[in-house]
Structure 1
Amino acid sequence: MAVSPLLQLSGVSLTFGGEPVFDDLSLNVQPGDRVALVGRNGSGKSTLLKVMAGLVEADKGDRVVPLGTSVGYMEQDPDLSGYTTLGEFAAANLDPSEMYRVERAGEGLKFDPDRLVETASGGERRRAALARLMAEEPELMLLDEPTNHLDIEAIGWLEDELKATRRAFVLISHDRRFLTELTRATLWIDRGQVRRQEKGFAEFEVWRDKAWEDEDMQRHKLDRKIKAEARWAVEGISARRTRNQGRVRALRDLRQERSSQIRRQGPAAMALSSGPKSGKKVIEAKGISHAFGDKQIVRNLDLTIQRGDRIAFVGPNGVGKTTLINILMGEITPDEGSVKLGTNLLPAIFDQSRAQLDGDVSLWDSLAGDKEIGVSGKADQVMVRGEPRHVVGYLKDFLFDERQVRAPVRSLSGGEKARLLLAKIMARESNILVLDEPTNDLDVETLDLLQELLDDYDGTVMLISHDRDFLDRVASTTVAMEGRGQAVVYAGGWSDYQAQKQPAADAKVTEKAKAKKEASRQAPTAEKAPLLSFTEKHRLEELPAVIDRLGAEIAKLEVFMADPDLFHKEPLKFKKATEALVERQTALSAAEEEWMELEEKAENG
């Protein structure tokens, strides 16, 4: 028997500002689907997700969700008005007995449920919205850039949760590795049409390139046919003095078909110029230490950055990555130590908050009105790496349509704002780029181009990013900020850092074990079981907390299910609570058994 889809769109069309977004779109999402939703910035990915969520009504077409099916949507800009704390917002649709789900998601996503809404940052609000969705456990989850404002550790937690879930989800993300690890099907929005492939994101680019190749071939065949028919029409009239009306109509139809085809937009024409070379030694930091109150940002760090280096700064949110870069750039004086900047530095800075963009001005004025790149006396031009360019032509290089140039910046999508900021930065000559989370919201194609530009850039790059794939592609050195002021320098990108980090940690444990063995060498001992490995030791330390948490969750579930009328009043909630109880009881038994085995091994060792 066929399984009913969780959600179905049929013949959906939508226009925005008079421009078509979708035309006669149809799709469905089945139970267990894990779908990547991809397409260029501005193609309508977020809008489609809102249509699927029922938050945007299409001009025509149908949205069908079976009665009783729950659909959850993670908003990029959640409305928290009416709530006092982030936890209150995240638990709004849960029973009190289910609050443990919010607490668990809060731990994984690193947000404080007790944080007051009025003092919460944009990133904290987004994490609360994501925690709310994960805690509610709807049958279909619609996730719009869930990794934005998460650090790499939290992304790992979310990735593990989504791998383990049986729920269906549709996912928009700029994070290649995240998409590759999680998805088994792909929806591709291209020029108002949606295509589906029953393969995950890992196969997307091969599929896309083949589709474009076939499209170019069909267009070329059509052009040749039109040319041949047009030649026949001209020659035939002079030879026969009469028209074959059928072939003339066929030629007109071919021309109409050709003109109706929407040409594929080419890649962005972004370019970087490093301008005059900086000195060979760009930054030299010696013994720098800095703290904010009781929080130690960095302690006794030595770091030398040479011209051409690509330095990535990684670490948990709030550890002080941006602060360290500001110290290295001379914006903040360290408490201890010294920072010496090289000669002839021309910095360009991409800030995570997009503070350089004024949402109330138009795209045109954002460029032409910029004091650093505007051309005096010419309101329609912008100075691009020393050469005047018309502002519309330059915006087209960054894939903006001519009809957008007078629109306010606030009307842009997140990816379009990122492209506009890149346009401002790349207009200047620079020899040191500071990029703070540049990958947020950018589409995959623009990310690929940005990576290529950075590869060819003659200057120096300092980079903060949570995108593991981007870090691997760009970084030549990684500064890992591991908390409590510890900053460790590793060669290579994210994967290189991970590969070097574990042996270093294991080596410390080995040295301690050798010292202990040497101290007790003279004493007669019975045959010993092997000592705990670093991973086992860490696991033994964290298991009591895991056991306590599982026990608390089980107790809450048992209290919730103690209501004798629950099964009759709320059969769906009873079913979910029973499944959750069995799952946590199984996990608790496994955790207790694992703890006993490791504890016994530690005692015998």
Structure 2
Amino acid sequence: MLRALTILSAREVRRTYGIHEVLCGASMAIDEGERVGLVGRNGSGKSTLARIIAGAEEPDTGEVVRRGGLRVGYLSQEPSFAPGLRAVDAVLAGLESWQQAVDRHDEVSRLLSGDPGPRLDALLHEQADLASKIERLGGWDQRHEALALLGMVGITDPEAIVDTMSGGERRRVALARLLVTNPDLAILDEPTNHLDLETIEWLEGWLANRFTGALILVTHDRYLLDRLVTRTIEVEQGVIHVYQGGWVRYLEAKAEREAHAERVDSNRRNFLRRELEWLSRNPKARSTKQKARVDRVEAVRDQVGPKREVAARIEISGERLGRTILDAEGLDVEIGERRLLEQVNLQLSKGERLGIVGPNGCGKTTLLRVLTGELAPAAGEVQLGKRTQIAFLQQSRGGLDDNESVFDNVGDGSSRVVLGDTELDLRSYLERFLFDTHAQRQKVGTLSGGERARVALAKTLRTGANLVILDEPTNDLDVMTLTALEDALGDYPGAVLVVTHDRWFLDRVATGLLVFEDRQLVRHAGGWADYVERRKLAARDEPAPARASGGGRGASEQAPPPPQEAKLTYAEELELETLLERVDAAEQQVSALEAELAGADFYERPVAEQQAFFPKLEAARAEATRLAERWTELEDRRPR
């Protein structure tokens, strides 16, 4: 049974594909109006968990319990539609009960307009009941609402047949279909893919201010995760970890948890190394008197080395830079008879990282194709520097052979990669992009969208370049890989042009923006947040504040010499004898509390009990950290 506050509960959910267990006993609960972010790297099981919660896929074991009458809306990455539907009808198809009531009301009205005979009273009653039902389901203006939503997500022709649309357009129709239904629980899997920045900001406002149901977001959009989410659930190696708050609070709490685990594991490894040395040189180590010490070594050995996910490591090799990287003058850019840009001038220098933004269809990708020489401009010219070499990641992720392996696609006949002054074996290079030996042998055609995106990125960045051009690089990438890419671009000495709808990415990477405005390319300093703030100031007729340059640190002071460590006192020796057991007990207490938090029944408790739980958990974590640090201190001072 679910109490009134909890609308859905997943308990001990397991799901296996082949020999790979994606979910290993996941448990969670969702409350009314709650906003949950599902995060984790590609292939971690986020989308699988979302499909199971939505009822689109069944778990191997475990159960999902939904409150009676719960209306669930699910936006999948590959939505389906009945054949032959117009866009507006596809959206209204999400309102099945409303549409049936309207159709029946029209039929009853048609019958009443004729000669209903003895059925007159019954039909009049039915017509009144249907009118009341339609009002309860949103009123008579749902068609108008559907048309408005289609326009907001960028579908300009509501009469267009969905079958003829691109994948991105179909996803936008599916998003409008979900929003018009206003479900009790909305599950959105990568909702910002194929949306432009203005539409993403509109969607964020809609979800924050108009949508009243519970929300589960599977997304790489860190702005959404930070602004909308009240609880973050990370899926890592099939297990879920629960954190309170949005993206920034999640990062802080995760870093603290991993740092604590790293300290404890390091302490255990150091202790184990010393004790094994003692065992190897002490012939009486197996005596009865020393048995407790030997048992303690065995216990620690079993606990050392918890498996942790490996982070992506991306490095971009910059070729020797010339004075001029790119110089475009008087560019006119057209598609067919449609003029996209007029008289554009653009100079690009080393160290500049420019984000290109504008609404869908304005010509961002076309501009990149002109700058790379793939398309000729209608007027003007593009000059590249004598030493300019381009690495171009296309939005289509073209250049990959589905019938070839990951290794062969990226290597292109070579088994070595040169990154600056470092030469790498291709297998080691691919491991940096999270492809192990088995994954390197897989054919690209069998990969997921996220894995395919990593292959394309690895292939693009393999060769040295001093101009990196990226067209929607964040599509399908998990946030961990995105962070690694952002770090690499920040260290890159060359120039970067990037088309992206990811606001967080722009804030971390861009030194400036090129914004499509009335067939012009207007340059703005800073990232997305700077641009938004400047627009607000301009609307108030105030000058935008100058963007501060990066502040350097002052001269560092010489650190004082470390204090002389004193030998252990007798009391400290006694304390050390039992300290490891206390550390283990404290960690077990933290683990038990974290398991309690992740349990499906946690959110069935009274609110006051839930609120009292979190200070208890933080106190347990602090005590475990204190004891672990005390153990390290005494172990380091113990005579060898």
1:309-324 aligned at under 5 Å gives the runs 309-324=352-367
Please point out which of 122, 141, 150 is paired with 2:186: 141
Query: Who is 1:131 aligned against?
Result: 176
2:224 paired with 1:178: yes
Aligned to 1:558: none
Q: 1:432 to 1:231 in 2, by over 3 A?
A: closer
| Matching residue of 1:338 | 381
1:28 is displaced (CA, Å) by 0.6
Tell me how far 1:289 sits from its aligned partner: 1.7
Counterparts in 2 of 1:400-415, with a 5 A limit? Answer: 400-415=435-450
1:222 and 2:268 correspond: yes
Matched, 1:363 2:397: no
Shifted more, 1-10 versus 313-322: the winner is 1-10
Counterpart code for 1:272: I
Q: Which residue of 1 aligns with 2:158?
A: 113
Partner amino acid, structure 2, of 1:169:
L
Q: Deviations over 1:124-176 (max 9, x none)?
A: 01111211111122111111111111001110110011002211011122122
- Judged with a 3 Å threshold, the aligned counterparts in structure 2 of structure 1 residues 219 and 450 are, in CA distance, closer, same or farther, namely same
Return 121-130 or 381-390, whichever deviates more.
381-390
Aligned counterparts, 1:473-488, within 5 A: 473-483=508-518, 485-488=519-522
Q: CA deviation at 1:414?
A: 2.9
Match of 1:391 in 2: 426
| Bigger mean CA offset, 219-228 vs 325-334 | 219-228
Q: Which residue of 2 aligns with 1:158?
A: 203
Query: How many Å apart are 1:209 and its aligned residue?
Result: 0.3
| 1:526-573 Cα distance to aligned partner (Å, 9 max, x none) | xxxxxxxxxxxxxxxxxxxxxxxxxxxxxxxxxxxxxxxxxxxxxxxx
My pick for the range that moved more, 105-114 or 313-322, is: 105-114
Residue 281 of structure 1 and its aligned partner are, at CA, apart by 2.1
1:206 aligns with 2:252: yes
Cα displacement (A) at 1:61: 1.0
Q: Say if 1:184 and 1:201, in contact at 8 Å, map to a contact too.
A: no
What amino acid is aligned across from residue 11 of structure 1 in structure 2?
A: E
Provide the residue aligned with 1:39 in structure 2.
40
Which sections of structure 1, spanning at least 5 residues, go unmatched? 376-380, 509-605
Q: Is the 8 A contact 2:10 2:65 kept in 1?
A: yes
- TM-superposed deviation, 1:490: 2.0
CA distance, structure 2, for counterparts of residue 226 and residue 51 of structure 1: 43
Paired residue type of 2:481: T
> What CA distance in whole angstroms lies between the structure 1 residues aligned with 2:462 and 2:90?
42
Higher mean alpha-carbon deviation, 292-301 vs 19-28, is at 292-301
TM-score by length of 1: 0.76
What CA deviation, in whole Å up to 9, does each residue of 1:293-328 have, x standing for no partner?
A: 442200122222223322221100000011122222
Please state whether the residue corresponding to 2:70 is helix, strand or coil: coil
**How many residues are matched?**
495
The worse-fitting range, judged by mean Cα deviation, of 236-245 and 315-324 is: 236-245
**What is the CA deviation profile of residues 230-272 of structure 1, one whole-angstrom value per residue up to 9, with x for unaligned ones?**
467656763666798887666555434436x32x133222111
**Cα distance in 1 for residues equivalent to 2:269 and 2:453:** 37
Q: Which SS does the other structure have where 1:273 is aligned?
A: coil
Could you say which residue in structure 2 is the equivalent of 1:194?
240
Kindly indicate whether structure 1 or structure 2 has the higher relative contact order, using CA contacts under 8 Å at least 6 residues apart.
2
* C-alpha distance in 1 between matches for 2:269 and 2:525: 53
RMSD, aligned CA: 2.7
Q: Does 1:297 align with 2:340?
A: yes
User: Is 1:282 aligned to residue 297 of structure 2?
Assistant: no
- 301, 307, 319: which one pairs with 1:255? 301
Cα distance in structure 1, aligned partners of 2:540 and 2:331: 28
Gapped regions of structure 2 (runs ≥ 5): 100-139, 543-640
1: distance between equivalents of 2:366 and 2:320?
27
Deviates more, 1:100-109 or 1:387-396: 387-396
Q: Does 1:494 align with 2:528?
A: yes
Amino acid at match of 1:326: R
Offset of residue 506 of structure 1? 6.7
SS at match of 2:6: coil
1:299–1:229: structure 2 CA closer, same or farther, 3 Å change rule?
same
The residue identity in structure 2 corresponding to 1:108 is M
1:461 match: secondary structure: strand
Residue 561 of structure 1 corresponds to: none
How far apart are the structure 2 equivalents of 1:328 and 1:231? Answer: 64
CA distance in 2, matches of 1:289, 1:239: 84
TM-score by structure 2 length?
A: 0.72
